[in-house]
Structures are given as C-alpha cells and as structure tokens.
Amino acid sequence: MPEVPATPKANRRVPPRPLDYAAAAGTIAVTALVALALRDRLTTIDVVMLFLLAVVIVASRHARGPAVLATVLSIACFDFLFVPPYYTFAVHDTAYLLTFAMMFVVALVMSGLTARIREHAAVATARERRMAALYGMNRDLAGATTAEAIAAIVATHVGRAAGGDAEVVLDADASEIEIWDGEGIVLTLQSPLKRFGLVAVRGAGVAHPIPEDERYVLELLANQAGLALERLALAERNEQSRVEIEAERLRTALLSSLSHDLRTPLGTIEGAGTALVEDAETLSADSRRDLAETIVEEVRRMARLVSNLLDMMRLETGTLAVHRSWQPLEESLGVALIRLDERLKGHPVKINLPADLPLVCVDDVLLEQVFVNLLDNAAKYTPPATPLSVSAWLENFNVVVEVADRGPGIPVGEEIAVFRKFHRAPMGGGSTPAGSGLGLTICEGITKAHGGRIWVERRAGGGAAFRFTLPLDVAPPPVPAADAASNGTER
C-alpha cells in the first residue's frame, strides 16, 4: 500500500514574529490614547471594556504570545492612566487590585478562546483547501486516458497547491530530478502495486521550505495521482487481455468454420473428380460437363469462403486497407454479377440506377465484395426463380444502395443479430443455411470503413431489403452521359 501521509496536528502553532508583538503593543497604545482622550466621559467599567476589546482584537489576529502581552499592557495602562493617583503605578484603593485580577483573568480567557476559534477556523480552511485540491484534480483526472495526460494534470495541480512549480517524471529515480536552488521536495507517484514516477515541487518562496501543512496536501495529491496511474495501467491491461481473448476466440472460430465449411465443397469436388477419372469412358459428354461445372462451382464457393475468412481477419486486426478512387457504382456491381453468374442462375436481377447518380469515392474491390456478399446472401435465403433487385438513390449527401429480395424476410428480432460474426439467421422451417456466417459482418465492416452504415428492413409484401450508405464527402466529378446506367435494367 502507498504510505498515507500523517495528518498535521491541529494544535500546531506558527511561532510569533517580533512584528506580531509590536502590533499587539501598538493596539494597546492606541486604545489607551483613545480612552485617555475620553477619560472625563467614560466610567471605569467603560475603560475596562475598551481594553478587553483591544485584547480580543489582538488575539483574533496573532498568536497567544502577543495576546498575553496585550493583556499585561492593558492592565498596566489602566493602572497608570485611569487609577488615582494618575501617571503612577501606586494603588491607594485596594479595591482596584480585585479589578486588576478580574481584568487579567477575563482578558486571558477571552484571548485564549479567541485564539482557539482562530486556530479551528484555520484548520477548517486548510481542510477545505485540501478537499478542493483533491476534488479539482480528481475531476480533471477522470477524463485523462494516457499517462502523459495524467502527468500534466498532476504537475498543474501540485504546482498550484504549492504556490510554485512542479515537474513530473514518469518511471524515474530521485536522482533524475534536479531540485531548484536546493529548495522543495520530491514526492513519489506510486500505488499498491508499483511506483510510476516522481514529482519535484518547489514552493513560491525560495528562502523558506514548504510548510508542513502544504506538504501534507502535496502528498495527498501525489498519492491520488499514483492511484489514477494504477487505474490507467489496470484498464490498459484489461483491454489488452480482452483483445487477446477476443483474437483467440476469433482464431478458434475461424479454424472451426474453415474445417466445417470446407468439408462439403471438398467432398463434392473429390466425388466429381473421382467420377471423371474412374468413369471417363462410360460417362456421356453431358455428364462430364455437369461434373466439371460442379467442380467449378464448388471451387468458387470455396474461394468466396476463404475470401470472407481473410477479410474477417483483416477487419479484426485493423489491417483492412481502403484504397479509394472515384468510381461509378455500376462498375463494382457489374463485376460482382459476373462473379456470381452461376450462383444467380434462376434469380432475375433488376438493376435500378438513376442516370444522374454521381460517382462514389470508394475502394472498388471492397465495394465489389459487399455486392457479392449481399447478392449471395439473397440467393441463399430465397427460393429459385425469386427476383432480386439492386437500387440506388441520393439522400442527405449520401448514396443509398439497396439489395432487396422477395424471400421469407428477416425474422423479428434478427435485424441487428444478422450482422454479428458467425450468426446465421434461420430459414423457413427453422433450418439454417450453409455458410460461415461472416458475409454480412464483412459488409458492415467495409461499409463502416467507408464512413457509411448498413441495415436491413422487412419489405411490405414479403422479403428483405439490405441498405447501405456511401457518403459524398466532397463533390464528385461529373458522370459521363455515355456511362450512366439506364433505369430499370434487368439481367
């Protein structure tokens, strides 16, 4: 545990200075002159009260020593100036001796009480100052996310509390900090687990060391800073552990998906290849063509799977590079349709791109992958011969793209879940389609990398509509009229 500084004693007094005694004597002298000028109008009790008031004033402003001096001087002045015979210390009436004694006792008691109230007020003020310093630094530390930011905050608040300068050095020894002019102190920034560095402090006055109560405040601030650095270190370790656990979980899931999802296409390829090798002479030309097409389709299926797995790894590790250039939307869509030519057989695709649709600043390869995954997903979840459509339009400085189908649609409650890793929404009858469950996750990652977003809606009359946005951050170059897509194209 970091050592908690001992609380300064509440009754610790600052030694009075010679100037304090001179001020006490001057206060009594002024009181005596005022009372002397009014001696003919004041009674004895009035004079006594004036001197007691002067003693209280001295006690409220100075230490006990000057207050006691003021008490003695007030009795002497009272005797010398206001007790007959005047201007001597002789007392003919012994009744005044009791007055002197009572005046001395009352003055001492009043000065003691006044001094105690002043000391308690000073202690309360110091406590309030400590709490304000701690609160102010904790408030600023709450928003600090780096050790350097914490060090800057600590230097500011510790220097302000010391009324001077402060320098913070992280992961340093005391020898690495130079104390200015031999004055000041060095405090350790540490927590229960480790030491994080040092803070060197110098008070405002070079000729005088930092007082004990101020040092106590500085030690409290240093301890609080050590705890803040410890919280930051623990948060960083927790985040690192979380990332490592998530990465390990992803690797395990990817390997599991790879081993599971590759087994079917590999088995199909092996069966078709074996048939071509062993039964080549007995198979008809149409049969051999069918087997070859099966092999090609399964190889493409494996390629899409491996591509998704690699894209997922790049998204998770933050290594997905986005190389943007101004492109017409139909170019990426056209390449995606060519890649999915066999997959989309039996699914008529209607393309609705306005002729005045502006160019988009995108990575055409990544955008092509988004179209491939969305169209493949639509074909997977819809019955044969079910139509698909691809549309786009301008909306609030964004190009909105929609890939829609007329299949069973998205089950209620699955609108967000479908974009999670390895999640596969159930089809009609409760069955789950084959696949890795990464296609829509990759679409979301690529869309976010372009500054857009993706979501899904249920269509009136049945079906699902996946929509994503591509922001138009700057004005794109004009689209050549010859390259503009026609409205309502169908393939």
pLDDT band with cut points at 50, 70 and 90 for residue 485: very low
The whole-angstrom separation of Cα 120 and Cα 179 is: 34
How far is the C-alpha of 375 from the C-alpha of 105, rounded, in Å? 101
Q: Within a domain: residue 35?
A: yes
**Predicted confidence band of residue 452 (pLDDT cuts 50, 70, 90):** very high
Structural domain range at position 267 = 262-315
476 or 59: whose pLDDT is higher?
A: 59
Determine contact, residues 141/225, Cβ cutoff 8 Å. Answer: yes
Strand, coil or helix: 81: helix
Task: Please tell me whether residues 333 and 477 are part of one structural domain.
Answer: yes
Domain for residue 270, yes or no?
Answer: yes
Question: How many residues comprise the chain?
Answer: 491
Same-domain status, 204 and 293:
no
Q: Is the pLDDT of residue 159 over 90?
A: no
The whole-number pLDDT of residue 482 equals 46
What percent of the chain is modeled with pLDDT above 90?
Answer: 13
Yes or no: say if 362 and 470 are a contact pair by the CB < 8 Å rule: yes
Domain-embedded: residue 421: yes
CATH of the domain at 476: 3.30.565.10
Q: Report the alpha-carbon distance of residue 390 to residue 393 in Å, rounded.
A: 11
Q: Are strands 388-394 and 349-352 parallel, antiparallel or unpaired?
A: parallel
Nearest to 78 by CA among 110, 36, 109: 36
Task: Report the mean per-residue pLDDT for the chain.
Answer: 79
Kindly tell me the sign of the dihedral angle through the C-alpha atoms of 173, 177, 182, 186. negative
**What tens digit of pLDDT does each residue of 224-273 get?**
888 888 888 888 888 888 777 766 766 666 566 556 566 767 888 888 88
Task: Kindly list the distances between the CA atom of residue 99 and the CA atoms of 69, 106, 192, in Å, as whole numbers in the listed order.
Answer: 18, 10, 64
Q: Is the same domain home to 377 and 484?
A: yes
pLDDT digits (tens, 9 = 90+) for 314-353: 666 666 778 889 989 999 999 899 888 888 888 999 999 9
Write down the pLDDT at residue 401.
96
pLDDT range class, residue 360, cuts 50, 70, 90: very high
Q: Is the pLDDT at 310 greater than 80, yes or no?
A: no
Rg (CA), the chain: 44
437: left (phi over 0), alpha (psi -120 to 50) or beta: left
- Do 66 and 205 fall into the same domain? no
Q: Is residue 133 part of a domain?
A: no
Cα within 13 Å of Cα(47), Cβ side: 25
Rounded Cα gap, residues 16 and 370, in angstroms: 82
Compute how many other C-beta atoms are within 10 angstroms of the C-beta atom of residue 333: 24
Q: How far is CA 467 from the centre of its chain?
A: 32
- The pair of structure tokens assigned to 59 is 């006690």
Task: For residue 134, give the 3-state DSSP assignment.
Answer: helix
Band (pLDDT 50/70/90 cuts) for residue 48 is: confident
Is residue 401 domain-shared with residue 481, that is, in the same domain? yes
Phi, psi of 35 (to 5 degrees): -65, -35
Query: How many percent of the chain have pLDDT more than 70?
Result: 80
pLDDT of residue 486: 44
Those residues whose C-beta lies under 8 Å from the C-beta of residue 197, and which sit 6 or more positions away, are 151, 168, 169, 170, 171, 172, 188, 189, 229
Q: Mark which of 295, 315, 335 sits at the end of a domain.
A: 315
376 shares a domain with 308? no
**Domain check: are 340 and 301 in the same one?**
no
In a domain, 134, yes or no: no
pLDDT at 465 over 80: yes
Write down the number of H helices and E strands in the chain. 11, 11
Residue 207 has pLDDT above 50, yes or no: no
Same domain, 214 and 284: no
The verdict on 422 and 290 lying in the same domain is no
Closest Cα partner for 491 from 345, 391, 363? 345
462 and 380 within one domain: yes
Say which residue the tokens 């069955």 belong to: 431
- At residue 171's C-alpha, the angle toward residues 213 and 205, to 5°, is 30
Can you read off the two tokens belonging to residue 294?
């099966």
Question: 264-288 pLDDT, tens per residue?
Answer: 678 888 888 888 888 777 888 888 8
User: Is 359 in contact with 327 (CB distance < 8 Å)?
Assistant: yes
Determine the Cα–Cα distance for residues 390 and 444; give it in Å rounded to an integer. Answer: 18
Residues 301 and 405 in one domain: no
For the chain, what is the domain count? 4
For residue range 55-90, what is the model confidence (pLDDT) as tens digits? 888 877 877 788 888 888 888 888 888 888 888 888
> What's the confidence (pLDDT) of residue 39?
84
Shared domain for 329 and 285, answered yes or no, is no
Whether residue 141 is contained in a domain is answered as no
- Residues 291-312 have a mean pLDDT of 77
Neighbours of 61 (CB within 10 A): 16
Residue pair 455/415 in contact by the 8 Å Cβ criterion: yes
Report residue 182 as tokens.
């031999």
